[in-house]
Amino acid sequence: MIVTRELTKRFGHVLAVDHVDLEVREGDRYGFLGPNGSGKTTVVRMLLGLVYATSGQIEVLGRPVPSKISQVLPQIGSLIEAPAAYGHLSGRANLLLIDAAGPHRGGRARSRRVDEALDRVGLGGIDSRAVKKYSLGMRQRLGLAAALLRAPRLLILDEPTNGLDPQGIREIRDLLAELNAAGTTVFLSSHQLAEVEQLCTRVGVLDHGRLVLQDDLDALRGLTGRVIVRSPDADRAAALLDGRVAHRDADRLVITEADPAAVNAELVSAGLRVTEVSAERRSLEELVLSVTSSGSDRIDGPRFGQGARRHQPGPAAAGAVPTEPGLADPVRPGPVLADPVRVDPAADEEA
Amino acid sequence: MIAVELLKLVRRPRSWVSIALLCGLPIVVAIFVAVTHVAPPPGQGPALLSAVLSNGSLFPAAALAIVLPIFLPIAVAVMAGDSIAGEASSGMLRYLLARPVGRTRLLIAKLIALVAYVLLAVVLVALTSYLTGRLLFGNSPVAVTPTGITTTNVVANTLSGTGLTPEQVILRTAGAVAFIAVSMLGVGAIALFLSTITDSSLGAALGAIAALIASGVLVALNASAAVSPYLPTRYWLAWLDFFRQPILWRDIDRGFEIQGVYVLVFLAAAWANFASKDITS
């Protein structure tokens, strides 16, 4: 569906996208992750022919972009950064204009298409008020409706749930899953890890313009080979499993043992009570944080140490990821695929 | 896409407010002149206005002379400056291009909407002021102004000389309307070009107005006489020659030519820039 080879974009002296080899297969629900300013939007704009690559090739729906862009775009629905609309017109009038603006495909069916798209995103009963009076969530839905207007084969969405409440986020997630089941490939660019984790089957992670990770989500979120135990008799459990306790946090133990059933049996047969036992899994958050550095929106002063920066997840990630057992741990077991070079003005001074 | 752009033009309140203002100013002037019967002394104030008192059908030409120096170029610069930059700043540009609307097609559609706006504005100013003139002023075919300074000469030449029939007045006014529309397209082309460079419609409009003011300053300056024939505002007032007897075609032709060159050059530049530009808005 989308293949890029050595895709590179330079804005003046800034290398925004650096030799990116994306591969999105037909039917994928692809999550495109990365900190703010890592180049996600530039990649998305290059896929849509809005920004021209400095070097490298792009193929979308089997055709080269941007040379054959006019054949590709009619089959793509897109939401690029924030949704946009003419504020003085109603949502329906906006969609009618957008539909009429594209290549002509039956003006007669236009109003039916618009109604269908509005229904899909939950704006079916919208009145004729001007878009400038819409809430952020309504604008987001309208933007999605515009993307869905012509039953696209490929949806390229940048932060589609921005501004929606939890109910709305769930609705949109269900809608995207439904469209995907009907054959639409979904390419979702986001920094909301939770959103990607819940929807996507495959992820690519961008950091400072480089694709540092691209794989199936299931493969990435594999077992770590450790077991997490919660027990009111944590002291005795720690003593019993001495040597295999990797980490202890009050009544929560991390055991270097692959099989939760074996650990459970061992504890129970020693007469210890077990509240909870489970195999530890890598979370997407840990993975992404291990391969990326802080986003370009963070600008540290010279006194700010490197260590503190390492362990501070970005504000968005911190708010978005639900706290599950086993995630609070600052260990980063994931494969470190890239070691971003950091310029730390404090390092020299403090040495 | 062309139909979409025209639809956007007529559905946007701004288009009609600006045209209403353009038509309103000459009406206000007409009312004052009609009530007080004090026309500006010949050679001062807007051209032709002193002749209007006696012949109302000249008022469209006087009205165009009233809006031409500032009002009309500002309105055109604002509309043209907004054409691409406005879409960019509202965020719609990326969605239009991803729809897809080809970049060249979008530019052509914007240009056609701009032409429609200019024609609409100029023709509506001429029509409303014609009605106003017929309503408020007399229709005597004879001119009264004494000879003296250039603009009065213009008037005096036509009206005190052979005199114009009503048909001739209408025909010549139509010629003036066409000339002014083409001059305004020159302004529009400059603003459209700037509009493809910046994402700020205000910046594009002000840039075009700045170019006009600079041109106006240089045209008035004797020291810059060498370049003045090539400046965009040099022949702006040449349409007054339509009201001479016989019509002085020399400056009118020059004016059409120079505006044609400006329109072509700036449209080509706008296209070259827009077609190769990274859309990051």
What is the distance in angstroms between the Cα of B181 and the nearest Cα belonging to chain A? 28
Determine the Cα–Cα distance for residues B93 and B45; give it in Å rounded to an integer.
43
The answer to which of A67-76, A164-173, A312-321 has the lowest mean pLDDT is: A312-321
DSSP A29: E
Residues of B in contact with A84 (CB under 8 A): 90-92, 94-95
CB contact under 8 A, B99 and A50: no
Decide if pLDDT at B134 tops 50: yes
Please report, rounded to a whole number, the percentage of residues in chain A having pLDDT higher than 70. Answer: 85
Query: Which amino acid makes up residue B89?
Result: S
Q: Is residue A117 very low, low, confident or very high in pLDDT (cuts 50, 70, 90)?
A: very high
Measured on CA atoms in the order A63, A68, A71, A75, is the torsion positive or negative?
Answer: positive
Which stretch of DSSP H or E encloses residue A253?
strand A252-255
> Mind listing the pLDDT tens digit for each residue in A156-200?
998 888 878 889 889 889 999 999 999 999 999 988 888 888 899
The answer to which of A4-8, A56-60, A279-283, B180-184 has the lowest mean pLDDT is: A279-283
Return contacts of A130-135, CB within 8 angstroms, 24+ apart: A130/A87, A130/A88, A130/A89, A130/A90, A131/A85, A131/A86, A131/A87, A131/A88, A131/A89, A131/A90, A131/A91, A131/A94, A132/A87, A132/A88, A134/A91, A135/A163
- Interchain CB contact of B275 with A (< 8 Å): no
B128: Cα separation from own chain's centroid: 16
Q: Which residue does chain A place closest to B13, by CA atoms?
A: A88
Residues of B in contact with A49 (CB under 8 A): 97-98, 100
Task: Tell me the mean pLDDT in the region B163-175.
Answer: 82
CATH 3.40.720 fits A223-281, yes or no: no
Residues in A whose CB is inside 8 Å of some CB of B read: 11, 45, 48-52, 69-70, 73-74, 76, 78, 80-89, 93, 97-98, 100-103, 146
pLDDT at position B42, please? Answer: 61
Residues of B in contact with A92 (CB under 8 A): none
Decide if pLDDT at A309 tops 60: no
pLDDT at position A284, please? Answer: 83
The answer to which of A218-232, B39-53, B96-110 has the lowest mean pLDDT is: B39-53
Nearest to A101 among B4, B11, B90 (CB): B4
Mutate to test the interface with B, among A60, A68, A73 (most CBs of B within 10 A): A73
CB contact under 8 A, B90 and A78: no
Task: Tell me the mean pLDDT in the region A249-274.
Answer: 89
pLDDT at position A105, please? Answer: 67
Task: Tell me the mean pLDDT in the region A124-142.
Answer: 91
**Which one is predicted more confidently, A279 or B246?**
A279
Q: Are A101 and B96 in contact (CB under 8 A)?
A: yes
Determine the Cα–Cα distance for residues B63 and B47; give it in Å rounded to an integer.
9
> Mind listing the pLDDT tens digit for each residue in A35-56?
888 899 999 999 999 999 999 9
Q: What is the ipTM of this complex?
A: 0.82
Q: Are A161 and A195 in contact (CB under 8 A)?
A: yes
pLDDT at position B212, please? Answer: 95
Residues of B in contact with A81 (CB under 8 A): 91
Q: Which residue does chain A place closest to B92, by CA atoms?
A: A84
Residue with tokens 């609409």: B120
Task: Tell me the mean pLDDT in the region B235-251.
Answer: 85
Q: Is residue B88 very low, low, confident or very high in pLDDT (cuts 50, 70, 90)?
A: very high
pLDDT at position B44, please? Answer: 65
Residue with tokens 């001739």: B168
Residues of B in contact with A101 (CB under 8 A): 1, 4, 96, 99, 101
What CATH number matches the domain at A2-219, 3.50.30.60, 3.40.50.2000, 3.40.50.300, 3.90.1150.10? 3.40.50.300
- Interchain CB contact of B100 with A (< 8 Å): yes
Nearest to B279 among A51, A69, A89 (CB): A51
What does the block give as tokens for B180? 């002014």
What is the distance in angstroms between the Cα of B201 and the nearest Cα belonging to chain A? 15
Q: How many CB pairs under 8 A join A and B?
A: 72
Decide if pLDDT at B267 tops 80: yes
Determine the Cα–Cα distance for residues A245 and A238; give it in Å rounded to an integer.
7
Determine the Cα–Cα distance for residues B268 and B270; give it in Å rounded to an integer.
5
CB contact under 8 A, B8 and A86: yes
Task: Tell me the mean pLDDT in the region B108-137.
Answer: 92
- As beta bridge partners, residue A15 has A10
A9 contact partners, CB below 8 Å, separation of at least 6: A15, A16, A17, A39, A42, A46, A51, A53, A54, A209
Portions of chain A given CATH number 3.40.50.300? 2-219
Portions of chain A given CATH number 3.30.70? 223-281
CB contact under 8 A, A84 and B100: no
Determine the Cα–Cα distance for residues A250 and A247; give it in Å rounded to an integer.
10
Highest mean pLDDT among A118-127, A248-257, A312-321, B267-276: B267-276
Determine the Cα–Cα distance for residues A221 and A106; give it in Å rounded to an integer.
46
Residue-wise DSSP of A210-229? EEEEEEEHHHHT-EEEEEEE
Residues of A in contact with B1 (CB under 8 A): 101
Mutate to test the interface with A, among B95, B106, B276 (most CBs of A within 10 A): B95
- Interchain CB contact of B101 with A (< 8 Å): yes
pTM of the predicted model as reported, rounded to 2 decimal places? 0.82
Which of A123, A159, A116 is CA-nearest to residue A141?
A123
Residue with tokens 């309208």: A142
Nearest to B90 among A70, A86, A103 (CB): A86
Please report, rounded to a whole number, the percentage of residues in chain A having pLDDT higher than 90. Answer: 46
